Structure 1
Amino acid sequence: MQTGFRLNLTPVKEPLGFVKVVELLTAVLAFGTCGGYTGRNVVSIFCGGSSNETLSPTFTYPFRLNQELLVENTTLCNRTVAATHLVGDSSSSVEFFVAVAVLAFLYSMVALLVYLGYMHVYRDSDFGPMFDFVLTAVFAFLWLVCSSAWARGLQTVKDATGTAGIESTLALCRDNVKCEVTDYASMRSLNISVICGFLNLIIWAVNAWFVYKQTRWHSQKVNAQQAAGRGPNPAPI
C-alpha cells in the first residue's frame, strides 16, 4: 500500500470533506466574534436637584468584570464615591469556548489535509476512520458544553453591565440617586458567537454520522444486515 501524499480534491465534493470545510469556517467565526471584544456602556446618574453625572465603564474579553473599574475614587452628586468594580467573572466560560473553537479549527485543518492527500491510506486502514469518528463525536460534545457555558456567561455580562446590575453594584445608586444605562455597547458579535457555538454542535454531530460510515463498525453492521436479509443457505440435497 502506497502511503505518500497524493492530492485528490474529490473528498471535498463529498459530504465527508465538505462538512469539514464548513466546520473549519464556523470554528473561525466562533472564536473570531468573541475574542478581542471591547464594549463600553454609558451610565447616566441623575442627581436630582444638582447637575447630572456620566460614567463610561468598559468591559473586554475575557470578561473578568470584577477587575473592570466602574468608577474610580471620585465625587459624584456632591458625594464621595469609593473605587467600585463591576461584578462577575465570565472568563472561564468564554476561554473554554475559544479553546474548543481553536482546537476544532486545527483538527479540521489536519483532517482536511488527510482527506485531500492521504485518503487512500485513510480508507485502507481501520484506525484512521475510527480515530476520526471518536474525535468528531468528542468535539460535538465539547461544543454542546462550551456553548451552553458561554451562553450563560454572556447573560452574566449583560446582567452585570445593565441598569439593574449597575444599580446593585454602585452604592450611590441606592441613596436617592437614579442610575440608568442610557447607551448600551453592541453585543451583536457576542450573540453571534453563541449561535455559532450551537451551529457547530449540529454540524459536528452530522459529520460524526458521515465519519461513522467510513468505519468498520458501520461496514460490519451493513454486512450483517445483508446476510440476515438473504437468510440461511439452502441445505445440500
Structure 2
Amino acid sequence: MGRVTRIVWDFDDIDAAATPQAHLDYLEKTEAFPPLAAVREHTYAALPPGRGVDVGCGRGRAVADLTALGRPAVGVDRSDTMVRSARKRFPACEFTTGDAAALPFEDGSLDWYRAERTYLHIADPLRALAEARRVLRPGGTAVVADQDFDSTVMASPDPALTRTVVTALTDSMADGRAGTRMPALLAGAGFTDVTVHALALAFSSLPPVEPLLIEPAEAVAVAAGVVSEAEARAWRGGLERLDREGTFVVAMTMFVTTGRRP
C-alpha cells in the first residue's frame, strides 16, 4: 500500500486571488442543501442564549443566522480567504482569522462554542477542546457537529471497491472519524453532561456531492495506492451510470455532540 495522501479542504495556503471563485460559490450553494441546513438548525437549538464563537466559520452562514436569532456570534477561521469572504457576504457580522487552539477571547468570556465540520481537520482535538473549555464560562455549552466518514454508504456496482475508497478518504483526513470520537473527546477535555444525536445526510443525485466527496475520495484512493487509476475510473463510471438511471444514493451520519463546562 502506498502512502496515504492527506487532502486539504480549506484555503489556508491559497491567497484570495488564486482561490477559484467556483469553489467558493459551491460552498455557498451547499448551505441550501436540506441535510446540511437541518444540521445547522439542530446545532442552533442546542445553544444557550448569550454570546459565542463559531469555530471554523467558513463563509459565515452560521454566524449570520445566529446573530439574527439574537445570539451574538464571532466567526473564527484559520483561512484568511474564508474570513475575507465571510466579511464581504455579511458585513454587519464579526469575523476574525484565528486558530482553534488559540482563540482570541478572555477566559470564561463566552456563553457558547460551536464548530461544524471542523474537527475532521484538527490533528490535536484535545488541545482545541481545552481551548473551548477555557473561553467558556462555567455552565457554558459546546456544540460540535462532525461526520464519521467511515459511516459513508452509497449505491455502487462494486460495494467492495466503494468501501476501499471510503476508507482511503477517511484515513486521509486529520480525523475522519471525529463524529464518533467526539463524546469521548469532550469528556476527556473536562466537559460534562455530554449528549450526542445522529443525523443522516442523504443525497439522491451525484452532482451535489462530487466536489467535496466523490472527487477527493477518488484522488486519495489512487494516491494511496489502494486502487489503480483504471479501477478509479470504473468506480466513477459506475456511479455516473446510476445517477443517469436515477438510482444513485449516498448517505453518511453527522454526529452533533453537546457538552457543558462545569
TM-score by length of 2: 0.22
TM-score by length of 1: 0.24
Question: Bigger radius of gyration, 1 or 2?
Answer: 1
Larger proportion of strand? 2
